[in-house]
Chain A
Amino acid sequence: MIRLGLRNLLRSKPRLILVALLIGIPFFLLLVMQAIGTAVAQQTRLLQQNVDNTLQLRARGAMGHVNMVGNENLLPHESFNQVRAVEHVAKVEPYLLAMTPTTGHNFAMIVGVTPGDTKRLESHGEAGTPKIIAGRDLTDADRGQKVAVIGQGVAKWAGITVENVGHAILNLDLKRTHPVIFALDRPPATLKVVGIYASGYVFGDMQLFIPLDTFRDIYGFPRGISWLFVKADSAEYLPAVEQKLKAMLGEVADIIAPTHVAEFQNTATRAVLRLARGGIVLAAVLTIIVVFFVMLLVVRERAWEIGTLKALGASNDGIVVSFLTEALALCVLGAFLGLLLFAAWGGPIAQHTFGVGIAPFLPAQYKDTLATALSLSSSIAPATLALLTGTCVIAAAAGSVWSIRQIILLSPMEAIRRE
């Protein structure tokens, strides 16, 4: 009966081509949607790596600088380990901060960091990554050592040049005061300047980075943390991490989180992925609908044949197998045709479809560029073939359910209805 089902396909070649095309178009749409989904998923992974997914924790209501008037409160020392244990936290970087007067009303910022951690610039809300322009960066070997990497503004103030980096000495007098800096009753410290960095702006260049342990030793703060930088393992989990930190440390810490960017990215990519998945489901449903009507028509047309087969002693199972074979073969042909269409025009059409589909959700400046930025491919991955095969089987089975019911209910008397 399987052979009979396959032979039934060839009854009318023009009709076979028409039906294969009708089934092929939803398959083509399915492939387009799948290509968009795959490209967006790839892009999302890249975005999640690049979007700022770092939170900052400070003692509640304070800047957390150890000698800043009215802002000297620190985060509890235990908060470091507590935060590290939170799910989806990839990295925690503790900072200790102090200030020292320079000329006039100006001051420089002293930052204690763990060697190897990111050196962030903190100055009037501006941030950036400093670049070493002379000497070297802090290393693990510098832990507890009296060494510093200083900004080029500090170097200029202290009279240190690029040429004498590695030998130059910088003195820190902790008793000096300033309208916003109070004196600490601690001995002065002498730091060897091992590197000079440039940040590209004046305030950014007025910082000194020293090892965290060295900072604790010089300023006499064996415990406590000024700031904690907390990196989530992806932007997707940033809001969840923020919620957990608020629940854990909300009473003692202010949490600054770039959740708007992360949430926009999450929402936008999730919306596109949902649209793509919805498109795939819609295309599959469309395939089922086409198969449904084709098989309904076929069973109606061949009711007398089904009756004849029953009158000749064919079992319902046998007849059903022959029609299911026919439905499956039509789906496979349709999928193949859809695959050919996709290989020929899939890339540009997917790009255009994506552009049209996503445009309403995007700010004007991205509308033209995003569609072309997405690397849409018309290549066929094994997962795509698996998707096509699965859809073929499901569409053939689901699309034929009603027809199968009709076949089973048909009486052998249908054989004489045509007479």
Chain B
Amino acid sequence: MSNSTVTKTGDRLVVLHRVSKTYRKGDEIIKALDGVDVTLAEHGMVAIVGVSGSGKSSLLHIIGAMDRPSSGEVMVAGQSLTELPESGLMRYRRQTVGFVFQSFNLIPNLSALENVMLPMEFNGIVRAERRARALALLDRVGLRQRLTHRPRELSGGEQQRVAIARALANNPPLILADEPTGNLDSKTGQMIYELLKEISRERTVIVVTHAEALAQMADRVLPIKDGRLQAVAWEKEQASSEILGGSRHA
């Protein structure tokens, strides 16, 4: 089976070329990713789906520069992550991507507002502007009334909305969400997906998920198995071809 996906013309935000990731576990070498080629456009929602251990999170972490590939090239927003030094990767994580974690990962002793302001502080934005932008983002995710609440005082859905606002803080072109509804009930999960879907109209949102139903909301689905992308969901990709791009190699 081909380990590639369809390319559609359009602005390319993410380009992966023959990306592999291997881990050593004792004497055994585990291939988390095996020669992945994929190109993603500047807008839209992409769902990476697959069973546990298929390599979907590894792919997300490599795109997010949380981890480095063993081989291959990763280009995001015109910059090659493979060549970036650690300081460049730090700036990349700060300015180009926003993370949404399954367990929300909000700093427990900071309020919702302060959590959203935090990435902007790393980016050197002045306090007044940080506050104004954080207020606007929390307003957008419907948490204007919960500004001063600490994470433990918020529900799971509210915490994830704060995390989404935080991911948007530095206005990155790419949002990466790793099982964002994994710790939420289905109704709340649906709300989060709708929020991510809305955000994907202005930037690229890549979501790793187990949930088949939620994946159906994505503009493009990238099934992954044993570290290799699978050529399925053609209809959906073609239907959303106005937004997304990809190439299929033999």
Residues of A within 8 A of B (CB): 1, 4, 7-8, 10-11, 304-305, 308-315, 318, 411-413, 415-416, 418-419
Of B6-14, B93-101, B223-231, the one with at least 4 CB within 8 A of chain A? B93-101
B79 within 8 A of A: no
Q: Are A312 and B110 in contact (CB under 8 A)?
A: no
Q: Which of these, A1, A312, A412, A413, contacts B119 with CB under 8 Å? A: A312
B123 within 8 A of A: yes
A317–B170 alpha-carbon span in the complex (Å): 20
Given contacts A413-B61, A415-B66, A415-B99, contact A313 B93 (CB under 8 A): yes
**B118 to chain A: closest residue by CB:** A312
- Nearest-neighbour CB distance to chain A for B78, whole angstroms, equals 18
Given contacts A411-B67, A415-B99, contact A313 B94 (CB under 8 A): yes
B 62-90 contacts with A by CB, 8 A: 64-67, 87, 90
Q: Are A412 and B93 in contact (CB under 8 A)?
A: yes
Interface size range on B against A? 20 to 34
Q: Are A419 and B119 in contact (CB under 8 A)?
A: no
Residues of B within 8 A of A411 (CB): 66-67
Could you list 25 examples of A-B contacts with CB < 8 Å? A7-B110, A11-B109, A304-B105, A308-B101, A311-B93, A312-B93, A312-B118, A312-B166, A313-B91, A313-B94, A313-B119, A314-B90, A314-B94, A315-B87, A411-B66, A412-B65, A413-B67, A415-B66, A415-B101, A416-B178, A418-B105, A419-B102, A419-B178, A419-B179, A419-B182
Q: Are A413 and B66 in contact (CB under 8 A)?
A: yes
Q: A411-B66, A412-B65, A418-B105 are in contact. List 8 more A-B contacts (CB 8 A).
A: A11-B108, A311-B99, A311-B105, A312-B93, A412-B66, A413-B66, A415-B66, A416-B57
Given contacts A413-B66, A413-B67, A416-B57, contact A312 B101 (CB under 8 A): no
Residues of A within 8 A of B93 (CB): 310-313, 412
Q: Are B101 and A305 in contact (CB under 8 A)?
A: no
Q: Which of these, A7, A311, A418, A419, contacts B66 with CB under 8 Å? A: A311
Q: Are B123 and A313 in contact (CB under 8 A)?
A: yes
A308–B178 alpha-carbon span in the complex (Å): 13
Residues of A within 8 A of B122 (CB): 309, 312-315, 318
B51 within 8 A of A: no
B232 within 8 A of A: no
**A315 to chain B: closest residue by CB:** B90
**A418 to chain B: closest residue by CB:** B103
Residues of B within 8 A of A10 (CB): 109
Residues of A within 8 A of B121 (CB): 1
B107 within 8 A of A: yes
B 127-185 contacts with A by CB, 8 A: 166, 170, 178-179, 182
Return the 8 tightest CB-CB contacts between A and B, nearest first. A313-B94, A412-B66, A308-B105, A313-B93, A312-B119, A313-B122, A419-B102, A419-B103
Residues of A within 8 A of B178 (CB): 416, 419
A314–B109 alpha-carbon span in the complex (Å): 17
Q: Are B166 and A310 in contact (CB under 8 A)?
A: no
A10–B119 alpha-carbon span in the complex (Å): 22
A7–B121 alpha-carbon span in the complex (Å): 16
- Nearest-neighbour CB distance to chain A for B12, whole angstroms, equals 23
Residues of A within 8 A of B66 (CB): 311, 411-413, 415-416
Residues of B within 8 A of A314 (CB): 90, 94, 122
Residues of A within 8 A of B110 (CB): 4, 7
A418–B91 alpha-carbon span in the complex (Å): 24
Given contacts A7-B109, A11-B108, A416-B57, contact A312 B67 (CB under 8 A): no
Residues of A within 8 A of B108 (CB): 11
A205–B93 alpha-carbon span in the complex (Å): 98
Residues of B within 8 A of A315 (CB): 87, 90, 122
Residues of A within 8 A of B91 (CB): 313
Q: Are A312 and B109 in contact (CB under 8 A)?
A: no
**B183 to chain A: closest residue by CB:** A419
Given contacts A11-B109, A312-B118, A313-B95, contact A416 B101 (CB under 8 A): yes
A7–B118 alpha-carbon span in the complex (Å): 14
Residues of B within 8 A of A310 (CB): 90, 93
Residues of B within 8 A of A4 (CB): 110
A1–B93 alpha-carbon span in the complex (Å): 18
A412–B105 alpha-carbon span in the complex (Å): 12
A416–B99 alpha-carbon span in the complex (Å): 11
Residues of A within 8 A of B123 (CB): 313
Q: Are A313 and B67 in contact (CB under 8 A)?
A: no
Given contacts A314-B122, A419-B101, contact A308 B57 (CB under 8 A): no
- Nearest-neighbour CB distance to chain A for B36, whole angstroms, equals 18
A416–B208 alpha-carbon span in the complex (Å): 13
Q: Are B109 and A415 in contact (CB under 8 A)?
A: no
Q: Which of these, B99, B107, B179, contacts A305 with CB under 8 Å? A: B107
Residues of B within 8 A of A11 (CB): 108-109
